[in-house]
Amino acid sequence: MHQFLQQVFSGLAAGAVYASLALALVMIYRATDLVNFAQGEMAMFSTYIAWTLVNAGLPFWGAFLITLAVSFVGGMAVERIVIRPVENAPILTAVVVTIGLLLIFNSLAGWIYSYTLQEFPSPFPDRTLFGALMTTRDLGVIAVTLMMLVALFCFFRFTATGLAMRAAAQNPESARLCGIPVGWMLAVGWGFAAAIGAVAGIMVAPVLFLDPNMMSGVLLYAFTGALLGGITSPIGAVIGGLIVGVTENLVGTYLIASQLKLTVALILIIIVLVFRPNGLFGTAVVRRV
Amino acid sequence: MSETVPAGTTEKLAISGGSGASIAAWRWLGGAVLIALAVVLPFTLSNYHVFQLTQVMIYAIAVLGLNILTGYNGQISLGHGGFFAAGAYTAAILMHRYGVPYWATLPPAALMCFALGVLFGLPALRFEGPYLALVTLAMAVAMPQLLKYFDTWTGGQQGIRLAKPMPPIELGTDRDRWLYFLVFVVLLIAVRIAANLLNGRTGRAFVAIRDHPIAAAAMGINTARYKTLAFGTSTAFTGVAGALAAIVIGFVAPESFTLFLSLSFLVGSAVGGIATIGGAVVGGFFIEFVPNFANDISDAAPWAIYGMAMLLFMYVMPRGVVGTLGPWSTRHWLVRATQQFRAARDAKKM
Amino acid sequence: MAAILELRAVKAFYGQSEVLHGIDLAVEEGGMTVLLGANGAGKTTTLRAICGMVRSEGQILFAGRRLERCTTEQIAGYGVAHVPEGRGTFIGLTVEENLRIGAYAATGRPHDNMQLMYGYFPILAQRRRQQAGALSGGEQQMLAIARALMMSPRLLVLDEPSFGLAPRVVEAIFGIVERIKREQQVSVLLVEQNASLALEMADRAYLLETGYVVTSGSAKALADDPQIRRSYLGY
């Protein structure tokens, strides 16, 4: 029982990271019907920026905040410069652009920072709590993720820009008629997604060790979590990410060793999707003919 | 009077009357030229280049499979690398364990992958868009892991090493060229089958389902059956390509069939033109040559160059090379060229 | 009176097809102009051309400004409030959020305008926290008009406000629109299928047929014109 709770809790911590990246994916999908395959690599690149700042002597949380700001601007720039040319093209074209972006970020990171695994500092002390039930690190990750989610919720609920972004995502044409610069709202959305990704990367780097391929597995789990929760639902993304994290941990502990863990976890989740083809909280697209 | 008839008038005449015949004639001629080129080329190039062109054609067959499913039928697949692997390993196991001659492994590979595709396509009926992407992604991710797990059959991590086939002595060609022509013949057959399928009733049903599934069902098209058929046909093509890859390279291992391969097929498909047949060949060229080319430009960050090449192609030709240039060329350039020729000829007669 | 909106030789295109072939029309400041015509005549296209939503040629002048090269957002910022065909309500947002969005381009304080809107449309005040998608058709139309007015526009553009609504509801809505026009000094450009009702309220009218203006004049004059009947019913 004790081990079970332990695994659940550490699964929640991993799940918090997946949930963050899943939220980033959903944010972009809601606005553009596009899955940003480069989200993981962008997060990885942000994490390298944080690592560079920390190595230069900045305190951890200072580097953290600066990285978030830089990632936000970077995400906006990516949308305005790279994605905008294909905003009216078929979806597959945009998908290929994100795949290209994935390769570019991965390759650039390898070139600038090399492929050697690097240690990434954790801001949380290395202790266990409640009789070895959970670690402070896991608790810290969950806390940071929670705070980020609350901040985002408040932004979208209570600010004018947040409202404008929601409107622009729901109904771009009507939003334009209200004077909302939809293109820039999209860019801000990408900025947020990039910042959220940076948080995910920074939280997971101490465990996975920093290297250019660090986020590829995370992206896969995040994508799965987002779909499990419902690709159009932000709450679903978070819950889906958490479920995937816990499932991955439990499958790894009780069912099968690491090699097939991913396959089994995926299959389990797909079985759930067979019964709920739009995810747990997703809404079916009702098409009027 | 040697006055050329103004372009506007002849254009209208040509569109209504002669252009149909002239386009067909141009297509036939173009096809014949390409085939002649493909037959002559391997005798002018080095062994390595011939091998590369063989790879191009193998990828073309694989991408053609993807085009059938995603381009013509609208079902996205991120998992075709997995079906490619299935075909490759089917051929490899048949050759290695049961001593089946290499050319005889192609039909079983096709059948096996067709069955796999149908098996996959049935539950896939429930999914659309990103959900379908995930389900097919699972295939791509699971395949290398499953291949490593069932190692008594698949040779596990080490893979299976195969003897490269020897060409029949009577022909006097060497191995690389023999394999080139083998793949070339299979490519021609594949293109022929695809063209017949896609230009006929089945193809029209596929496209109807892609563009408006509700209307298609209302017209009496059995969407479930056609979607599953599309899946099976698509994976059969890609599976045969995989089998050919096993034969030509002489080695299969799980590391060759990662998610990146599936993504490469998708990229090749988009670059060539997702709902075209000719685009598959363009895609094959892209997948084979651009990474090498990128390596030449920068060996520090070659994949970044590859990624930038993808971006460039998508910006300039969002519908793919054949998707963008195809309609343009047949409608405008060729027709105008024919008109001008005819106009000049008629003017001389006067 | 001066014209607040003027179209001169405006053509509009969907892709390569030309669908408006040189439209001339004007909306007087403080007045109401109605565009009539059968389905496919080009009425909605004209409105979309004004708001920069389709490719167009020709001159579009609004309060002395040329609108042809502007984006839709910019045009809204200049004071053109467009209620599109089908209302364009943000069904995922609440009534109050819809109104707040309407004020994005506003110059005045949103709170003042909101009280004003609740005054004109009391039913919206009652339903302010409900999801906009749960409102009835008539209520959504009211919400759409209120949303447009939140930006204190100089020109209100309405595309088929009576669409899908019961006659009583339509009359009520039109009554409110007329009141607003008077009290807030808003000019109105109205597209309507319901010709008789529209002609009762409007000052000027234009009749469109397959992309051409075939008749124009004062609303009273057109109300007796047999061309309108011919255009709609074919006899």
pLDDT of residue A257: 67
- CB-closest option in B130, B301, B314 to A108: B301
Contacts 24+ apart (CB under 8 A), B327-334: B330/B23, B330/B26, B330/B27, B334/B22, B334/B23, B334/B26
How open is the CA angle C7-C8-C13, to the nearest 5 degrees? 80
Contacts of B322 (CB under 8 A, 6+ apart): B272, B273, B276, B278, B279, B282
How large is the angle between the packed helices B80-98 and B47-66, nearest 10 degrees?
Answer: 120
Neighbouring CB atoms inside 10 A of C172's CB total 15
d(CA C97, CA B221): 44
Let me know: does A283 contact A230? Beta carbons within 8 Å. yes
- CB-closest option in A160, A163, A181 to C73: A181
Count of the separate structural domains present in chain A: 1
Q: Among A103, A114, A223, A228, which would you mutate to test the B interface (most chain B Cβ atoms within 10 Å of its Cβ)? A: A103
Structure tokens at A138: 């896991």
Closest CA to A178 of C99, B197, B245: C99
Q: What is the pLDDT of chain C when averaged over all its residues? A: 88
Radius of gyration of chain B (CA): 22
Any idea which residue has 């088929």 for tokens? C160
* C-chain residues near A163 (CB < 8 A): 93, 97, 100-101
- Band of the pLDDT at B325, cuts 50, 70, 90? confident
Residue B127 and residue A277: Cβ atoms within 8 Å?
yes
E strand or H helix at C66, and its extent?
Answer: strand C65-66
Let me know: does C141 contact C173? Beta carbons within 8 Å. yes
Residue A260 and residue B145: Cβ atoms within 8 Å?
yes
Top CATH class of C1-79+155-164+183-235 equals alpha beta
Burial class (CB in 10 A: 0-12, 13-18, 19+), B111: middle
B125-167 pLDDT, tens digit each: 988 888 899 889 888 988 888 888 888 888 888 888 888 787 7
d(CA A225, CA A203): 18
- CB-closest option in B145, B304, B314 to A97: B314
What's the CATH number for B46-318?
1.10.3470
Closest CA to C89 of C148, C49, C19, C17: C148
d(CA B285, CA B302): 17
3-state class of C157 per DSSP?
strand
The dihedrals phi and psi of A57, each to the nearest 5 degrees, come to: 110, -5
Residue C101 and residue A178: Cβ atoms within 8 Å?
yes
d(CA C134, CA C94): 9
Query: Which strands make up the sheet holding C17-28, listed edge to edge?
Result: C17-28, C3-14, C55-62, C65-66
For the ranges A67-76, B114-123, B134-143, C142-151, the one whose mean pLDDT is highest:
A67-76
* A-chain residues near C72 (CB < 8 A): 176-177
End-to-end CA distance of chain A: 53
3-state class of C116 per DSSP?
helix
* 3-state helix, strand and coil shares in percent for chain C, rounded to the nearest 5: 40, 30, 30
Q: Which domain holds residue A8?
A: 2-224
In total, the C-beta contacts within 8 angstroms joining chain A to chain C are: 60
Evaluate whether residue A218 is within a structural domain. Answer: yes
Residue B304 and residue A111: Cβ atoms within 8 Å?
yes
Let me know: does B263 contact A99? Beta carbons within 8 Å. yes
Evaluate whether residue A141 is within a structural domain. Answer: yes
Give, in order, the Cα–Cα distances in Å from B95 to each of A139, B92, B147, B160, B205: 55, 5, 17, 10, 38
Closest CA to A229 of A194, A286, A267, A279: A279
Any idea which residue has 């034969």 for tokens? B247
Closest CA to B68 of B307, B265, B235: B235
The residue type found at A70 is V
Closest CA to C75 of C43, C97, C56, C53: C53
Domain ranges of chain C: 1-79+155-164+183-235, 86-152
DSSP 8-state secondary structure symbol assigned to residue A286: P
Burial class (CB in 10 A: 0-12, 13-18, 19+), B274: buried
Does the pLDDT of residue B69 top 90, yes or no? Answer: yes
Does the pLDDT of residue C215 top 80, yes or no? Answer: yes
> What is the pTM assigned to this prediction?
0.86
The 3 state secondary structure assigned to chain B is CCCCCCHHHHHHHHHHCCHHHHHHHHHHHHHHHHHHHHHHHHHCCCHHHHHHHHHHHHHHHHHHHHHHHHHHCCCCCCCHHHHHHHHHHHHHHHHHHHCCCHHHHHHHHHHHHHHHHHHHHHHHCCCCHHHHHHHHHHHHHHHHHHHHHCHHHHCHHHCEECCCCCCCHHHCCCHHHHHHHHHHHHHHHHHHHHHHHHHCHHHHHHHHHHHCHHHHHHCCCCHHHHHHHHHHHHHHHHHHHHHHHHHHHCEECHHHCCHHHHHHHHHHHHHHCCCCCHHHHHHHHHHHHHHHHHHHHCCCCHHHHHHHHHHHHHHHCCCCHHHHHHHHHHHHHHHHHHHHHHHHHHHHHC
- CB-closest option in A163, A181, A182 to C101: A163
Q: A146 CA to chain B: closest CA distance, Å?
A: 27
Does the pLDDT of residue C187 top 70, yes or no? Answer: yes
Q: What is the pLDDT of chain B when averaged over all its residues? A: 85
Interface of A with B (CB under 8 A): 29, 35, 82, 85-86, 89-90, 92-97, 99-104, 106-108, 110-111, 220, 223-224, 227, 231, 259-260, 262-263, 266-267, 270, 273-274, 277-279, 287, 289
**A137-170 b/e with 16+ CB inside 10 Å = b?**
bbbbbbebbeebbeebeeebeeeeebbbbbbbbb
Least confident residue range of B80-84, B110-114, C60-64 = C60-64
In total, the C-beta contacts within 8 angstroms joining chain A to chain B are: 124
Residue A263 and residue B145: Cβ atoms within 8 Å?
yes
Structure tokens at A11: 């699964």
* A-chain residues near B123 (CB < 8 A): 274
A163-199 pLDDT, tens digit each: 999 999 889 999 999 999 999 999 999 999 999 999 9
Let me know: does C50 contact C72? Beta carbons within 8 Å. no
d(CA A110, CA A106): 6
Q: Would you put residue C209 in left (φ > 0), alpha (ψ -120 to 50) or beta?
A: beta
Evaluate whether residue A276 is within a structural domain. Answer: no
Let me know: does C99 contact C146? Beta carbons within 8 Å. yes
Evaluate whether residue A263 is within a structural domain. Answer: no
pLDDT in tens, chain A (289 residues): 788 888 898 899 999 999 999 999 999 998 888 899 999 999 999 999 999 999 999 999 999 999 999 999 999 999 999 999 998 888 889 999 999 999 999 999 999 998 888 888 888 887 777 767 788 888 889 999 999 999 999 999 899 899 999 999 889 999 999 999 999 999 999 999 999 999 999 999 998 889 999 998 899 999 999 999 988 888 899 999 999 999 988 888 887 766 677 888 888 888 888 888 888 887 765 555 5
pLDDT of residue C90: 92
Give, in order, the Cα–Cα distances in Å from B105 to each of A232, B158, B162: 45, 22, 13
| All CATH 1.10.3470 domain ranges in chain B, comma separated | 46-318
Tell me, yes or no, whether chains C and B touch by having 3 or more C-beta pairs under 8 A. Answer: no
Does the pLDDT of residue C6 top 50, yes or no? Answer: yes
d(CA B92, CA B248): 11
Q: B320 CA to chain A: closest CA distance, Å?
A: 9
Any idea which residue has 């989740």 for tokens? A269
Structure tokens at B256: 């060759």
Residue C82 and residue A177: Cβ atoms within 8 Å?
yes
Give the residue on C whose Cα is nearest the Cα of A181.
C73
pLDDT of residue B22: 66
Evaluate whether residue A123 is within a structural domain. Answer: yes
Q: Among A178, A186, A285, A286, which would you mutate to test the C interface (most chain C Cβ atoms within 10 Å of its Cβ)? A: A178
d(CA A95, CA B263): 10
B211-234 pLDDT, tens digit each: 888 899 998 889 899 999 999 999
Evaluate whether residue A43 is within a structural domain. Answer: yes
